[in-house]
Structure 1
Amino acid sequence: MPKVITLDAAPDLRQIYVSAALRRRRVGDSLPDVRVARAGVAVDVPSLAAYARVCRLPLSGALPLTYPHLLAFSLQMVLMAGDGFPLALLGAVHVENRIEATRSIGVEEPLDVDVWARDLRPHRKGIQVDLVSEVSTRGEVVWRGVSTYLARGDEHPDAPVSEMPSTQALAAVHGGPQWRLPDDTGRAYAAVSGDWNPIHLHALTARPLGFPTAIAHGMYTYARVLGALGARLPQEALSSRVWFRKPVRLPSTVQLRTAFAAGSTLSVLESVKGGTDPATPTEHAVVENSWA
């Protein structure tokens, strides 16, 4: 049976990141048999409102689709910072995220959150792992997320890649909402999410970890995409998936293009201008939503 670490409150992620910075780089080929859990979590409404304001999400009696990830994220970091975890916490990059929501979650519902790791495997640019998060209320699992993190290292050219959907349907979509993401975007999101990873805060803290500037949190851009789709997405039985393609350097201007179909949407978040050819924008994220 797995070891279960039960937390009474959300940990301070700033302390976890400082501790991770003082540790030596880890190397390993197995995952610890550990779960991290919190029970009876009550949503703090002022914190939820601040999160919705930063991510441009509507407020209602139900939680935004990405909000349960915030409740699980600190538990993920406890697991990744713990003894025996084979990936170094600092420098790990969020490359993909999947969410399955069986129904909407009421703001006042008490929530139980469980997190564990699975499927340590090679990536073409290093090694990756899935962090699985389940949110339940009164014994009913209502939300499930899978966050895939990459630690760069030895390359594995023959490693399988995650299959993205074809973006051919987006060829006919010209234009869409544009957002200017200022230099302090990462700090603003960190303040409402608790994710103080230095790669998101300032160029001076991002450069030692391999990034020339601070980069936007992937889950921030993902939330912005879902917020822009708004009422076009159902509240029940929704499956959502994002592939983070290229980091959004801060400051930056991005554009969202979306193709709509019966029971699905397909979106791409891209730079307004990118590379040496302004006609070829940099693709930052691809988001696919589907429902019955």
Structure 2
Amino acid sequence: MEYVTQIIDPPPSRNQLLWDGVRALRKPKLEGAPTLPKERLVRSAVELSAAGIAAYGRTCGFRREQGVPLSYPHVLAFPLHLMLLTRPSFPYPASGMVHLANRIRQHQRLEEGQALRLEVYCERWVAHPKGQALSIATRAYSAGALVWESDSLYLRRDVAAPVGEPWSDGLPLETEGLARTQRWVLPADLGRRFAKVSGDYNPIHTSVIGARLFGFRRAIAHGMWTLGRALAAQQPPGGLETAEAHCDFKLPIFLPGQVALWNAPVTGPRREFEVRNLAGDKPHMRGLFIWTAR
């Protein structure tokens, strides 16, 4: 597919993103199959700043000796995700898009102060049993080399006859051998705190009233916070040379609340895990984390 590259510099303000989200609440009724947007949004040089990494680390639980968090570049690119989802070329309202899964791959070591070229584009439609899914690609380059990438799967529920390849990318995981390793207490303002470092001010995360407007009884935690917190609990000190993280988001986590991290027996630099409710009988996220360290 041929994309039209658009340089986004400077990045949009929070107010602009919110306004674009409001304007995208309604879209014309779609006639026929959806068309994949052709824009490739680019930020030419985004710094992995020490201050930004520290703020993200405090919110998710990373320590400085762990180096650049594997999930951190996602939050730098997330405003570009919002821009794609709220543009007139995107066929569905951005509100109500559900984050189903994320796949992250780091190809080279990332360092504080390093500048990344971020590219974000809609990669492909996916036919999901619950509606129309969309994969958004994020690619990060340094000195011309691909150093980090992610693919984020979003779902528009209740779309009849979805197009694209059938969804078959659920993360297989043997859950019988998992044991509880940590318990997390999540404060009521967690959604607002994570919004400040991620740029994701979706009202389902930041407001009880906003959450109720979209059918939730309370605000819910960001899926990418849950992934970040799980990686923070497992990322080794010294930083990562290469790494992969795969996760499927399951049930929402209501705020305030308590959840637990469950792990499979350790097998070298590989972790299979779930985040479950405190009783341990309902999954909120399923994940796999593999790395090589210095």
Aligned identity (percent) is: 30
Tell me, yes or no, if structure 1 residue 208 matches structure 2 residue 208: no
The Cα of 1:13 is off from its aligned counterpart by 3.8
In the alignment, the residues of structure 1 paired with residue 183 and residue 80 of structure 2 have an alpha-carbon distance, to the nearest angstrom, of 33
- CA spacing shift, 1:96–1:249, aligned 2, 3 Å: same
* Structure 1 match to 2:144: 139
What do the CA deviations read for 1:66-99 (whole angstroms, capped 9, x no partner)?
Answer: 1100111111111111121123211111110000
- CA spacing shift, 1:184–1:156, aligned 2, 3 Å: farther
| Residues 90-129 of structure 1 aligned to structure 2 (within 5 Å) | 90-129=95-134
Gaps spanning 5+ residues in structure 1: where?
274-279
What do the CA deviations read for 1:172-220 (whole angstroms, capped 9, x no partner)?
Answer: 3432110011111100100111110111011100111222211100010
In the alignment, the residues of structure 2 paired with residue 167 and residue 120 of structure 1 have an alpha-carbon distance, to the nearest angstrom, of 28
In the alignment, the residues of structure 1 paired with residue 168 and residue 195 of structure 2 have an alpha-carbon distance, to the nearest angstrom, of 30
| Residues 189-204 of structure 1 aligned to structure 2 (within 5 Å) | 189-204=194-209
* Structure 2 match to 1:287: 287
| Residues 5-154 of structure 1 aligned to structure 2 (within 5 Å) | 5-23=6-24, 24-25=26-27, 27=30, 29-60=34-65, 62-154=67-159
In the alignment, the residues of structure 2 paired with residue 184 and residue 192 of structure 1 have an alpha-carbon distance, to the nearest angstrom, of 13
* Structure 1 match to 2:171: 164
- CA spacing shift, 1:4–1:127, aligned 2, 3 Å: same
- CA spacing shift, 1:138–1:60, aligned 2, 3 Å: farther
For residue 38 of structure 1, what is the amino acid of its counterpart?
R
Aligned length: 284
* Structure 2 match to 1:277: none
The Cα of 1:237 is off from its aligned counterpart by 2.3
* TM-score normalised according to structure 1 size: 0.90
In the alignment, the residues of structure 2 paired with residue 202 and residue 115 of structure 1 have an alpha-carbon distance, to the nearest angstrom, of 28
The Cα of 1:284 is off from its aligned counterpart by 0.2
Give secondary structure in 2 for the equivalent of 1:54: helix
Give the superposed CA RMSD.
2.2
For residue 261 of structure 1, what is the amino acid of its counterpart?
T
8 Å CA contact 1:104, 1:235 repeated in 2:
yes
8 Å CA contact 2:186, 2:257 repeated in 1:
yes
The Cα of 1:155 is off from its aligned counterpart by 5.4
In the alignment, the residues of structure 2 paired with residue 108 and residue 159 of structure 1 have an alpha-carbon distance, to the nearest angstrom, of 41
Give secondary structure in 2 for the equivalent of 1:88: coil
Runs of 4+ in 1 over 6 A off after TM superposition: none
The Cα of 1:262 is off from its aligned counterpart by 3.6
The Cα of 1:14 is off from its aligned counterpart by 4.0
The Cα of 1:263 is off from its aligned counterpart by 4.3
